[in-house]
């Protein structure tokens, strides 16, 4: 039972006790109804208080229970709320910290609500691709008014209790307590005062009206707005329809309509993807063999080596979090350039009103520079972001080993080099870890934390916690070429090249993938990142892995100096100072000539084939990555792609998407692609893990 019951004087107190956030799972729901039965059967009890233990009143329905039989098992949340409403004795909710989703719906089923100041109040179901499914769309408009309720439900954003209490009178909250500490006592006092109210006089939110003076016109306007803002997501419009039902239908019919819409959304692929994302994001922060209580090192000061593209952005993350940073460079001019870029970035934010001048000043005051390694002797974490050459990294890490204090974490931002080799340049490989930020490092959410063979568990625990502090989504990767993200993108890029060989154009490929939902197709992305990066990798591969075949189109493009936006021309043409990709006749000619040289007769390729070949090339490499133990769970791979590579959020990442399509279907498509006469039988060999899961009828989990 995850709700506690006790009697204080003549008040029964039911305390939700399902850590971490009192999710309203089956056992908790049973705990509530059992408590209600006891309280109503006990003559000594005159009134009832419901509250939550720990750090929340309630975070809502238990998300972990979704999709299991327990989610719908009676008493479901709707039935619990009916039981509250039917109570013969007054019920007061004592609300503090967090009241969200089903938690708020539960509170709205109580007769009275006492709330602590500073409580986060929200119906955030829309963020999970859902709508409030236990009366929230019917009851919230009755206490807040239609417009405020609709805003809260469609945005899912939390509003502080004090703001709601001051703006919207006493219908949502009957009392604002003096503090979170006193809310329970004040609710008990409140319960004593209302004890003895006749059952028929107990106030129920369902009995209040839900009206809008210009209902149809308002909802038509709101629908247009919401539709425009949520084109790939069905939930926001359904939220609106449910709230509208509160104004056009009787209460119980509105509840039935809400349930119908909720059920539709629960079965939608978008909600499945968003729920997966919620869980995967939290799971990514946990490393299977690193216990939650692993001691962490204190990070009070950070050193950054290199003030280039990455060093500057990396530094800004720590400054934003209030952590002092000292940047080291080889020359003063390089430092000056780096600092000027940081200033420019912050000033742009100030100009746009996104950052206050005082905050900007505070952040810059935390930043210092040096040309001398000895000045980094007090740093708790030193992140290297110098040129991508092992020899340069060796010089840096050898010096760091000499000056860094014992216990300092030494991190490399390398994107391709072997972190174990870098660790071996020091006598303290246990302190060395990869921190692979993505460009622009002050903006991109993803941080791949690269775990070397000897990286200490406390180092990992520290870096994962620090990532949260600087608002990054950290995913642990083992050491391999490209880590998780770039190892997969290499296969995707190879496949994109083969598509050009066979008959597609860069714009057709980009359009197909962007229609699927990627922020950018592979060729526009190449132009943005610089086609020379891939060129360098392919040259290296020619000696290291001669068996790996590529289309020659990208090399031919680079031979023309078309590196992308930075050279004003790449797969596309660019007008000076502009980023719009203009189809290039030079490139089309280059591709056609290439096909002739190779004796390829081009064919028409469908958008569907393009998308499948590109996405499944990610999936197959993802399966290898799981098998090799580079990623510990498929959700981690999804997080990498969702936060670092522009994979559409509503599709949940490549591995989740493959699960939704069905791994059998994915494998069948791959077999079909392998029959392509241009395929040498290598690319589409299914990863053994994929084969195994298909044979067992399982999914990536």
Q: Which two tokens stand for residue 370?
A: 């040096």
Q: Which of 36, 39, 49, 63 binds ligand 3HC (CB under 6 A)?
A: 63
With the C-alpha atoms ordered 513, 517, 523, 526, is the resulting torsion angle positive or negative?
Answer: negative
Site membership for ligand 3HC, residue 636 (CB under 6 A): no
- By CB under 6 A, the residues from 193 to 252 that bind ligand NAI are none
Cβ neighbours of residue 619 closer than 8 Å, sequence gap 6 or more? 654, 655, 657, 658, 666, 690
CA 638/CA 626 separation, integer angstroms: 12
Instruction: Tally the C-alpha atoms within 13 A of residue 385's C-alpha that lie toward its C-beta.
Output: 25
The residue with tokens 């708020």 is 104
* Touching ligand NAI, residues 435-464 (CB under 6 A): 437-439
CB under 6 A: which stretch of 26-34, 290-298, 309-317, 546-554 binds ligand NAI?
309-317
DSSP state of 180: T
Binding partner of 387, given ligand 3HC, ligand NAI, none, CB within 5-8 angstroms per partner class: ligand NAI
Closest by Cα among 363, 271, 222 to 660: 271
CB 292 within 8 A of CB 373: no
**Residue 226 Cβ vs ligand NAI, minimum distance, rounded to whole Å:** 36
Among 110, 396, 463, 619, binds ligand NAI (CB under 6 A): 396
Q: Does 20 bind ligand 3HC (CB under 6 A)?
A: yes
Asked if residue 77 binds ligand 3HC (CB under 6 A), the reply is: yes
Q: Measured from the CB of residue 415, what is the shortest distance to ligand NAI in angstroms?
A: 4
> Is residue 125 a contact residue for ligand 3HC (CB under 6 A)?
yes
Using CA atoms, how far apart are residues 576 and 586, in angstroms rounded to an integer? 17
Angstrom distance (rounded) from CA 490 to CA 100? 42
**SS3 state of residue 550:** coil
Instruction: Find the distance separating the first CA and the last CA of the chain, reported in whole Å.
Output: 29
Which span (128-136, 385-393, 519-527, 601-609) binds ligand NAI, by CB under 6 A?
385-393
- What is the footprint of ligand 3HC within residues 80-119 (CB under 6 A)? 98, 100-102, 105
DSSP character for 641? H
CA angle 101, 103, 105 (to 5 degrees): 75
CA distance 202 to 89: 8
Residue 509 interacts with ligand NAI (CB under 6 A): yes or no: no
- Please give the Cα distance from 522 to 531 (Å, whole number): 11
| Residue 307 in contact with ligand NAI, rule: CB under 6 A | yes
Indicate which single residue of 308, 324, 503, 517 sits in contact with ligand NAI (rule: CB under 6 A): 308
Tokens of 448: 């791949």
Instruction: Report if residue 334 touches ligand NAI, rule: CB under 6 A.
Output: yes
Q: Does 525 bind ligand NAI (CB under 6 A)?
A: no
Q: Is 544 a catalytic residue?
A: no
Q: Is the peptide bond before 631 cis (omega within 30 degrees of 0)?
A: no
The only residue of 388, 458, 514, 532 in contact with ligand NAI, by rule CB under 6 A: 388
Could you tell me if 142 and 210 are in contact, meaning their C-beta atoms sit under 8 angstroms apart?
A: yes
What is the rounded distance in angstroms from the CA atom of residue 451 to the CA atom of residue 433? 6
Cβ 355 to ligand NAI shortest distance, Å: 23
For the beta carbon of residue 662, count every other beta carbon within 10 angstroms.
13
Residue 63 contacts which entry, ligand 3HC, ligand NAI, none (Cβ below 5-8 A, type-dependent): ligand 3HC
> Between residues 171 and 337, which has the closer beta carbon with respect to ligand NAI?
337
Looking at beta carbons only, is 79 or 88 nearer to ligand 3HC? 79
**What is the closest distance, in whole angstroms, from the C-beta atom of residue 538 to ligand NAI in the complex?**
16
Q: What is the closest distance, in whole angstroms, from the C-beta atom of residue 449 to ligand 3HC in the complex?
A: 17
Identified catalytic residue from 65, 85, 125, 241: 125
CA distances from 39 to 32, 45, 48, 188, 681 (A): 10, 6, 7, 14, 71
Tokens 């008959």: give the residue.
503
133 binds, among ligand NAI, ligand 3HC, none (CB under 5 to 8 A by kind): ligand 3HC
Please tell me whether residue 414 binds ligand NAI under the rule CB under 6 A. yes
Nearer to ligand 3HC, 100 or 307 (CB): 100
Asked if residues 106 and 77 have their Cβ atoms less than 8 Å apart, the reply is yes
- Residues contacting residue 276 through CB under 8 Å, at least 6 positions apart: 635, 638, 652, 653, 656
The rounded distance, in Å, linking the Cα atoms of 554 and 495 is 12
Give the residue nearest to ligand 3HC (CB).
101
Q: Is 398 in the site for ligand NAI (CB under 6 A)?
A: no
- List binders of ligand 3HC among 372-391 (CB under 6 A): none
Task: Count the neighbouring beta carbons within 10 Å of the beta carbon of residue 553.
Answer: 23
**Dist. CA 523–CA 567, nearest whole Å:** 15
Nearer to ligand NAI, 378 or 389 (CB): 389
Can you spell out the DSSP letters for 357-370?
A: HHHHHHHHHTEEEE
Tell me if 382 contacts ligand NAI by CB under 6 A: no
Binding of ligand NAI by 392 (CB under 6 A): yes
Q: Which stretch binds ligand NAI (CB under 6 A): 125-133, 267-275, 386-394, 634-642?
A: 386-394
Measured from the CB atom, is 143 or 314 closer to ligand NAI? 314
Residue 686: contacted member of ligand NAI, ligand 3HC, none (CB under 5 to 8 Å, by partner type): none
Residue 205 is given by DSSP the state G
Q: Is 155 in the site for ligand NAI (CB under 6 A)?
A: no
Q: Peptide bond preceding 20: is omega within 30 degrees of 0, i.e. cis?
A: yes
Q: Which of 16, 61, 459, 464 touches ligand 3HC by CB under 6 A? A: 61
Residue of the chain from 52, 124, 254, 522 that contacts ligand 3HC (CB under 6 A) = 124
Piece in contact with ligand 3HC (CB under 6 A), picked from 128-136, 166-174, 432-440, 522-530: 128-136
By the rule CB under 6 A, 52 interacts with ligand 3HC: no
Q: Any idea what DSSP says for residue 156?
A: -
Give the one residue of 31, 35, 52, 60 binding ligand 3HC; rule: CB under 6 A.
60
Q: Is 134 in the site for ligand 3HC (CB under 6 A)?
A: yes
Residue in 85, 105, 241, 490 annotated catalytic? 105
384 is catalytic: no
* Cβ proximity to ligand 3HC, 127 vs 428, nearer residue: 127
Please select the residue that binds ligand 3HC; options are 211, 250, 282, 578, rule is CB under 6 A: 282
Count of positions (residues) in the chain: 701
- Cα separation, 110 vs 131, in Å, equals 21
Q: Cβ of residue 472: shortest distance to ligand NAI, in angstroms? A: 13
Q: What is the CA radius of gyration of the chain?
A: 29
What distance in Å separates the CA atoms of residue 399 and residue 408, rounded to the nearest whole number? 13
Q: Which string of b and e fits 485-500 if b means at least 16 CB within 10 Å?
A: bbbbbbbbbbbbbbbb
Examine residue 471 and tell whether it contacts ligand 3HC (CB under 6 A).
no
Closest distance of CB 107 from ligand 3HC, Å: 12
The three-state secondary structure class of 409 is strand
Point out which residues bind ligand 3HC (CB under 6 A): 20-21, 23, 56, 59-64, 77, 98, 100-102, 105, 124-125, 128, 132-134, 136, 282
Question: Which residues of the chain form contacts with ligand NAI (CB under 6 A)?
Answer: 305-311, 328-330, 334, 385-388, 392, 395-396, 413-415, 437-439
Cite the active site residues: 105, 125
């Amino acid at each position: 039972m995850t709700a506690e019951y006790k009697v204080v004087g003549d008040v029964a107190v039911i305390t939700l006790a399902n850590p971490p956030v009192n999710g309203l799972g089956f056992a908790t729901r049973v705990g509530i109804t059992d408590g209600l039965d006891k309280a109503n059967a006990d003559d000594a009890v005159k009134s009832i208080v419901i509250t939550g233990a720990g750090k929340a009143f309630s975070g809502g329905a238990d998300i972990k229970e979704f999709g299991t039989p327990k989610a719908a098992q009676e008493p479901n949340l709707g039935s619990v709320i009916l039981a509250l409403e039917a109570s013969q004795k007054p019920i007061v909710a004592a609300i503090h910290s967090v009241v969200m989703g089903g938690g708020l719906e539960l509170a709205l089923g109580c007769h009275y609500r006492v709330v602590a100041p500073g409580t986060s109040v929200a119906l955030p179901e829309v963020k999970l691709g859902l709508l409030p499914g236990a009366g929230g769309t019917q009851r919230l408009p009755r206490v807040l008014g239609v417009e405020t309720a609709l805003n809260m439900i469609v945005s899912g954003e939390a509003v502080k209790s004090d703001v709601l209490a001051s703006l919207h009178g006493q219908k949502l909250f009957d009392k604002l307590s003096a503090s979170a500490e006193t809310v329970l006592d004040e609710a008990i006092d409140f319960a004593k005062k209302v004890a003895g109210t006749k059952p028929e006089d107990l106030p129920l939110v369902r009995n209040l009206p839900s009206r809008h003076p210009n209902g149809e016109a308002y909802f038509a306007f709101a629908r247009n707005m919401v539709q425009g803002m949520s084109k790939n997501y069905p939930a926001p419009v359904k939220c609106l329809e449910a709230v509208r039902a509160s104004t056009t239908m009787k209460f119980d019919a509105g509840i039935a309509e809400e349930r119908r819409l909720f059920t539709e959304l629960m079965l939608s692929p978008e909600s499945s993807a968003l729920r997966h994302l919620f869980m995967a994001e939290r799971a990514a922060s946990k490393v299977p063999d690193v216990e939650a209580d692993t001691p962490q090192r204190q990070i009070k000061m950070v050193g950054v080596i290199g003030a280039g593209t990455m060093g500057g952005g990396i530094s800004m993350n720590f400054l934003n979090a209030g952590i002092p940073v000292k940047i080291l460079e080889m020359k003063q001019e390089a430092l000056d350039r780096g600092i000027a870029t940081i200033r420019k970035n912050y000033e742009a934010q100030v100009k746009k009103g996104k950052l206050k001048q005082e905050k900007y000043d505070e952040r810059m005051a935390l930043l210092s520079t040096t040309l001398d390694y000895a000045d980094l002797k007090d740093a708790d974490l030193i992140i290297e972001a110098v040129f991508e050459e092992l020899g340069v990294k060796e010089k840096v890490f050898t010096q760091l080993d000499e000056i860094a204090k014992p216990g300092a974490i030494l991190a490399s931002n390398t994107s391709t080099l072997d972190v174990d080799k870098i660790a071996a340049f020091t006598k303290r490989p246990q302190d060395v870890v990869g921190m692979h930020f993505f460009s622009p490092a002050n903006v991109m959410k993803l941080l791949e934390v690269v775990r070397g063979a000897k990286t200490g568990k406390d180092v990992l625990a520290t870096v994962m916690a620090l990532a949260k502090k600087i608002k990054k989504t950290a995913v642990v990767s083992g050491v391999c070429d490209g880590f998780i993200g770039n190892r997969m993108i290499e296969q995707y890029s190879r496949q994109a090249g083969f598509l050009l060989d066979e008959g597609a154009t860069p714009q057709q490929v980009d359009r197909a993938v962007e229609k699927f939902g990627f922020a950018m197709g592979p060729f526009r992305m190449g132009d943005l990142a610089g086609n020379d990066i891939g060129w360098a990798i392919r040259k290296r591969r020619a000696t290291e892995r001669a068996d790996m075949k590529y289309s020659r189109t990208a090399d031919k493009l680079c031979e023309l100096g078309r590196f992308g936006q930075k050279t004003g021309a790449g797969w596309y043409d660019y007008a000076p100072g502009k980023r719009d990709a203009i189809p290039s006749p030079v490139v089309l000619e280059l591709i056609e000539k290439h096909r002739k040289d190779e004796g390829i007769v081009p064919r028409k390729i469908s958008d569907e084939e393009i998308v499948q070949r590109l996405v499944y090339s990610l999936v197959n490499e993802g399966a290898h990555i799981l098998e090799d133990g580079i990623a510990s769970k498929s959700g981690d791979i999804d997080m990498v792609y969702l936060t670092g590579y522009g994979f559409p959020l509503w599709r949940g990442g490549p591995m989740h998407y493959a699960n939704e399509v069905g791994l059998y279907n994915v494998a069948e498509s791959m077999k079909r692609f392998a029959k392509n006469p241009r395929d040498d039988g290598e690319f589409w060999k299914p990863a053994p893990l994929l084969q195994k899961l298909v044979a067992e009828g399982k999914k990536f989990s």
